[in-house]
Structure 1
Amino acid sequence: MSDIFLSYATEDRLRTRILVQALESRGWSVWWDRTIPPGQTFDSVIERALDDARCAVVLWSKVSVSSDWVKTEAAEAARRRILVPVLIDDVIVPFEFRRIQAARLVGWTGDQAEEEFGKLVQVIAERMGQPSPEVRAPKPPPEPPRPPPARSDWRRPALLGSAAA
């Protein structure tokens, strides 16, 4: 089960990946269709993922506004009252979704300090009944092993001297 179901048009995959990474850096799990296992049918996997999600983010772009898949996923999310629409292009959203205010991430490049992204994060947190999560800093790489301390040879001359006596 994922926290967030993300609906988008395949042609927007690169922009979608940036948003997925930003949301995951906040500690949320995000389901998007890059995780459909081979041999599974799209519709059954997508339906199950959407049913399990606590929030559904729909990315509206020049391509997605014409996508039957995106519109179907958005309709189900709206029916469940978990829809959070996001504009990633300057487009007219399909009629049935226009009454729901969309976050505006047109031209967004991943800057998590941007005000509109902050608003999106706040709305997602509210949908899930959580305070707004902070960005998780990436884990630092483990420290390399330290070399063993150098052996001190200060005793060697003394031992040699005592052996000579």
Structure 2
Amino acid sequence: MKRCGAEPYKGNEKYIFVSYSHKDKKFVFPIIEQMAKDGYRIWYDEGIDPGSEWPEIIAAHLNDCFSCIAFISDNSINSHNCRREINFALLKKKRFISVVLEEVQMSLGMEMQLSVTQSIFKYKHSSDQEFFAKLYEAKFLHECLGKPNPDIIVSKSSDYDENLKDLFGRDDLIREPFSDRWFLEADPAYNTELSDEDAVFCNNGSDRQKNVWLIRCKTNEKIDLPLGEFKLGRSDTINDYAVIGNSAIGRLHALIRRNQEKSVIVDCSSKNRTFLNAKALDPEIEYDLHDGDFIRLANEEFIFKQTES
């Protein structure tokens, strides 16, 4: 019986939660193995002891994770549990990436919900090397990076049988649907008013979704801003976007916090200050951002943009 070669992470450091349909494990497990081999700390729901209440364990790990990767496919779209996991991650404002495994027909609601997250279309990449290079561009994943594990052997998709039992001999493709109770125990603030079938495809109480990004004036680069916290600075290890080679920029210079309602910018006590529309910001205080606002980090200029769809 072939199992994933990477053990789910156990420990107190930051880790990535992986959401996937068990019907897609032949595609997902080789990716998990490669990431674990490269040193990323990853938790996924393989090998939970049969004596445990596994949905409660999944909800707790999703609540505690630093970031989430969701693998999107026809199987996951039609999975009650995958939809609940994704919805919970977005409501908790987890740093989120969706990896689209195949060309899928998404509902308008799903397109709207995932449009504010970073998506990587794996099936469009010509090689695994190209895919992983794109995936690892997500700087927040580096927060979950430890030491490489060279002993992990990366499998091929053909190595996995679609009809595998799990580690304990249970049918690995059949899981009981999650109840809201599991997520409420992980987080009492979890919203239970969303419908079972369409929880992830809602608009979180807003009639319209915002697309939000920065434009770096020097390079005309577009920098997408996901929900949650987005760090800007000189260091390429602690920031989501690094201004490399500019000594005027602080190691962690500023950050942008974004939820469904608004975006704010905070100066992180930088030496050379952060400016909003030419006004110097007081450190560690939130300032609201609006479409067209002019942001300057020391001598690096950006334009804040947002549109509703």
Name the CA shift for 1:108/1:135 in 2 (closer, same or farther; >3 Å).
farther
Residue 57 (structure 2) aligned to one of 32, 42, 45: 45
Q: By percentage of residues, which structure has more helix?
A: 1
Q: 1:66-101 CA distances to partner (integer Å, 9 max, x unpaired)?
A: 111111111121122322111001113424223323
In structure 1, how many angstroms separate the alpha carbons of the residues matched to 2:64 and 2:146? Answer: 24
1:120 corresponds in structure 2 to 135
Write the distance in 2 (CA, Å) between the matches of 1:56 and 1:27.
16
The question of 1:85 aligning with 2:102 is answered no
- 1:100 alignment partner in structure 2: 117
Kept in 2, the 8 Å contact 1:5–1:32? The answer is yes
- Number of the residue aligned with 1:29: 41
Task: Report which stretch shifted further, 4-13 or 75-84.
Answer: 75-84
- 8 Å CA contact 2:20–2:28 kept in 1: the answer is yes
Question: Kindly, what percent of the aligned residue pairs are identical?
Answer: 21
User: 1:39–1:74: structure 2 CA closer, same or farther, 3 Å change rule?
Assistant: same
Q: Which runs of 4+ in 1 moved over 6 A?
A: 107-110
Partner of 1:12: 24
The higher relative CO (CA closer than 8 Å, separation ≥ 6) is in 1
AA aligned to 1:106 is: Y
CA distance in 1, matches of 2:55, 2:146: 34
Gapped runs of 5+ residues in structure 1?
140-165
Contact persistence 2:38–2:149 (CA under 8 A): no
| Mapped contact 2:95–2:140 kept (Cα < 8 A) | no
- Between the aligned partners of 1:43 and 1:15, the Cα distance in structure 2 is 23
Kept after mapping to 1: 8 A contact 2:17/2:43: yes
- Say if 2:16 and 2:141, in contact at 8 Å, map to a contact too: no
TM-score by length of 1: 0.69
**2: CA distance, partners of 1:88 / 1:32:** 17
TM normalised by structure 2 equals 0.39
Using the TM superposition, give the Cα deviation of residue 48 of structure 1 relative to its aligned residue in structure 2, in angstroms.
1.0
- Within 2, Cα distance between the matches of 1:63 and 1:55? 22
Residue 18 of structure 2 contacts residue 69 of structure 2 at CA under 8 Å; is this kept in 1?
yes
The Cα of 1:32 is off from its aligned counterpart by: 1.0
**How many residue pairs get matched?**
134
Q: What one-letter code is carried by the residue in structure 2 that aligns with 1:85?
A: S
For 2:94 and 2:141, locate their aligned partners in 1 and report how far apart those are by CA, in whole Å. 9
Cα separation, partners in 2 of 1:4 and 1:35, compared to 1, 3 Å: farther
Larger-gyration structure (1/2): 1
Cα offset, 1:105, TM superposition:
1.0
Task: Give the whole-Å Cα distance in 2 for the aligned partners of 1:70 and 1:44.
Answer: 14
| Partner AA of 2:75 in structure 1 | V
Residues 108 and 70 of structure 1: CA distance in aligned 2, closer, same or farther (over 3 Å): farther
Aligned-pair CA distance for 1:12: 0.4
2:86 to 68, 71, 74: 74
Cα distance in 2, alignment partners of residues 39 and 134 from structure 1: 30
Structure showing the higher strand proportion among its residues = 2
